[in-house]
Amino acid sequence: MDSDHYYYLGIDVGTGSARAVIINSLGTICGLATNDIQLWNPHANYYEQSSEDIWSSVCLAVKAAMTQSGLKPANIKGVGFDGTCSLVVLDRSGKPISIDPESSDGENHRNIILWADHRAGEQTDKINATRHEVLKYVGGKVSVEMDLPKILWIKENLQERWNKVGYFFDLPDFLTYRATGNASRSVCSLACKCGYVPPDTSISPQKGWHDDLFQAIGLSEFISENYSRMSTSQIFSAGQKVAGLSHQAANELGLLEDTPVSSGLIDAYAGIVGTLAAKIPGDYGNMLMEQRLAVIAGTSSCHILMTNRSLFVDGVWGPYKDALLRNHWLNEGGQSATGKLIDWIIDTHPFSIHAKKLANKKGISIYNLLNEHINTLQKQQKLQFSSVLTKDLHVYPDFHGNRSPLSDPTLCGAIVGLTLDVSLDALAVLYYSTLQSIGYGTRHIIEAMNDSGHNIKCLYMSGGLCKNELFVKTMADATKCLVVLPKYVEASVVIGAAICGASASGAMPMGEDKNITLWDFMEKMNEAGQIVTPTEISNEIEYNERKYLVYLNMWKDQINYRRIIEGKTDS
């Protein structure tokens, strides 16, 4: 342990695991551990988790990271949490209430509706049918992935349990509640997922909730209860101290009571904190904050831009005021299935089992096996660039609906150009075409944002998919943007949570200014790693333009097919 450093703990709860990281005041990792969490999928589009299981996994991960670091509890000066934007349901005493319709009395452990759960489609349509002005702050429509439709679904389908609900938490806010006993909320979760518009915006001069929206959608009790189930008496921005660790949580985590805890962040926003302030060397060093799009690529992908002005983009969430930095605005696009889509494409291919056995034999991942085979095919066919391998095979990637910029959860995926070939060659090309389609989906989001007044030129990428070099290069080529990766590619999200813990603590080594902002902490602790430039080969640039045009036409064709089936067109 270096006496010149303070140490901070970050905890990230993703879709499949809880992670804990310990960093020092320069952002260097001193300990990192992961523990799996449970996921139930009882029906199509139903995804459920347990807050008790998640907290247990968090505690195991924290203890393992502490052991790895060799630090003592007193060395940890601040704690930060992030998590998926999933809905946690508790009773008035803070105990779980099941959201699984088939659970029996007393079976309350499955009390989380995961972000990817699409059960609340009808409720989503009902909310959007109001055309309330609040909706313009979520791109014109709420998403089925947000909390508000899920809350309405519980009222309309689980009435007996609805009457017992004391708290609706977005998962990051549940984590700070469980850690401190303080039922405060974050601007991040409320503004991004719950229909809250922070004061001092054009439609919220005095308060963030709009009673007429809740009256219109059938949640009038929220008004009479003064939104107590959302527990909004205290609302914090990122990096602000919520409270100290409670006695119980400190014992469970193996830390000291009263250790400062930061306001929680949705995981994608923690990815911003862990990446966006990294300085780029050379000619790109003057890239402005508003030209940097954070892309957090994992099971799904989020595309978040932070600026000092509010711009509305159809099909893109936001602008969200104060969700990260005070007096700054965020726009958020996203793709509902990216890493999950890639795995699905591989897992469902006839050659999948053989490919995985071959990868295991070589001691490499299935992704590296496919990447190597793509290089082999390029050499065998004497191609100028590998991307042309997909010229006869095209993928449209919305297998779990479109989050942005079309905001249509009913859209489906498509593959054009399939043959009876079930070889490794066929799997590799299909996999490659899928990577390209994800890149073109990101380009579609960027174009929508730039058409509305933004000026995106650079992608600050993080998340598990960034371990895949071909994926990163494909993203650069498909979007025509520079890509900046963080020093710790896989850990940038959980590092973002730790940086928030540092900000909440206000603790820095002697001689530092103790009144610095969250952005100052970000600049001090962010470090750029690899920088990837888009292709400069004119033929490859032109090829990507043609592939992108195919991507757009596949979307339009799907809409036209629906119209034909519905009898709404003659052609």
- Least trusted range by pLDDT, from 7-11, 277-281, 385-389: 277-281
| pLDDT tens, position by position, 451-509 | 999 999 999 999 889 999 999 999 999 999 999 999 998 899 999 999 999 999 987 65
CB-count exposure of residue 152 (10 Å: 0-12, 13-18, 19+): buried
Q: Is the Cβ–Cβ distance between 27 and 527 less than 8 Å?
A: yes
Selection from 461, 474, 481, 454 nearest residue 397 by Cα:
474
pLDDT of residue 510: 42
Secondary structure class of 6 (helix, strand, coil): coil
As a whole number, mean pLDDT of residues 510-521 equals: 70
pLDDT of residue 508: 67
pLDDT of residue 514: 55
Share of the chain above pLDDT 90, in %: 87
Place of tokens 């803070």: 94
DSSP per position, 401-452: BB-SSS-BTT---EEE---S--SHHHHHHHHHHHHHHHHHHHHHHHHHHHHT
| pLDDT tens, position by position, 385-406 | 999 999 999 999 999 999 999 9
CA 299/CA 310 separation, integer angstroms = 29
- Is the pLDDT at 521 greater than 60? The verdict is yes
Q: What is the DSSP letter of 326?
A: T
- Is the pLDDT at 570 greater than 80? The verdict is no
Selection from 323, 305, 273, 276 nearest residue 497 by Cα:
273
The single-letter code of the amino acid at 47 is Y
CA 37/CA 59 separation, integer angstroms = 12
CA 326, chain centre distance (Å)? 21
If you average pLDDT over every residue of the chain, what do you get? 93
Strands 301-307 and 292-297, by their bridges, are: antiparallel
Secondary structure class of 139 (helix, strand, coil): coil
Q: In degrees rounded to 5, what are phi and psi of residue 327? A: 60, 25
- Least trusted range by pLDDT, from 88-92, 494-498, 510-514: 510-514
- Is the pLDDT at 545 greater than 60? The verdict is yes
CA 261/CA 78 separation, integer angstroms = 6
pLDDT of residue 208: 87
- Least trusted range by pLDDT, from 274-288, 316-330, 439-453: 274-288
Q: Is the Cβ–Cβ distance between 69 and 18 less than 8 Å?
A: no
What tokens does 156 get? 């309309």
CB-count exposure of residue 455 (10 Å: 0-12, 13-18, 19+): exposed
CA 463/CA 485 separation, integer angstroms = 10
- Is the pLDDT at 571 greater than 70? The verdict is no
| pLDDT tens, position by position, 297-335 | 989 999 999 999 899 999 999 999 999 998 899 999 999
pLDDT of residue 232: 75
Q: What is the DSSP letter of 279?
A: P
CA 220/CA 228 separation, integer angstroms = 12
pLDDT of residue 431: 98
pLDDT of residue 283: 64
- Is the pLDDT at 144 greater than 60? The verdict is yes
Selection from 255, 111, 249, 229 nearest residue 175 by Cα:
249
Residues 6 or more apart from 480 whose CB is under 8 A from it?
443, 534, 541, 544
CB-count exposure of residue 326 (10 Å: 0-12, 13-18, 19+): middle
Please report which confidence band the pLDDT of residue 517 belongs to, taking 50, 70 and 90 as the band edges. Answer: confident
Give me the domains of the chain, ranges plus CATH numbers: 7-266 (3.30.420.40), 339-448 (1.20.58.2240)
> Between 232 and 472, where is the model more confident?
472
Place of tokens 């919220």: 204
Element (H, E) at 469: helix 469-479
pLDDT of residue 65: 98
As a whole number, mean pLDDT of residues 92-102 equals: 95
- Least trusted range by pLDDT, from 81-90, 322-331, 422-431, 543-552: 322-331
What tokens does 375 get? 């290089």
Selection from 317, 339, 366, 341 nearest residue 462 by Cα:
339
Residue positions counted in the chain: 571
Q: Which long-range contacts (CB under 8 A, 24 or more apart) does 39-44 make?
A: 39/15, 39/114, 40/100, 40/110, 42/100, 42/102
- Is the pLDDT at 163 greater than 50? The verdict is yes
Residues 6 or more apart from 4 whose CB is under 8 A from it?
509
CA 57/CA 51 separation, integer angstroms = 10
Residues 6 or more apart from 503 whose CB is under 8 A from it?
78, 80, 238, 239, 240, 262, 517, 518, 521
Q: What is the DSSP letter of 96?
A: B
pLDDT of residue 326: 87
Q: Is the Cβ–Cβ distance between 127 and 202 less than 8 Å?
A: no
What tokens does 208 get? 């963030």
CA 278/CA 297 separation, integer angstroms = 18
- Is the pLDDT at 446 greater than 90? The verdict is yes
CA 48/CA 563 separation, integer angstroms = 34
- Is the pLDDT at 97 greater than 50? The verdict is yes
- Give the gyration radius of the chain's Cα atoms: 23
Q: Is the Cβ–Cβ distance between 336 and 398 less than 8 Å?
A: yes
pLDDT of residue 509: 57
Q: How far is CA 273 from CA 304, 308, 499, in A?
A: 11, 16, 7
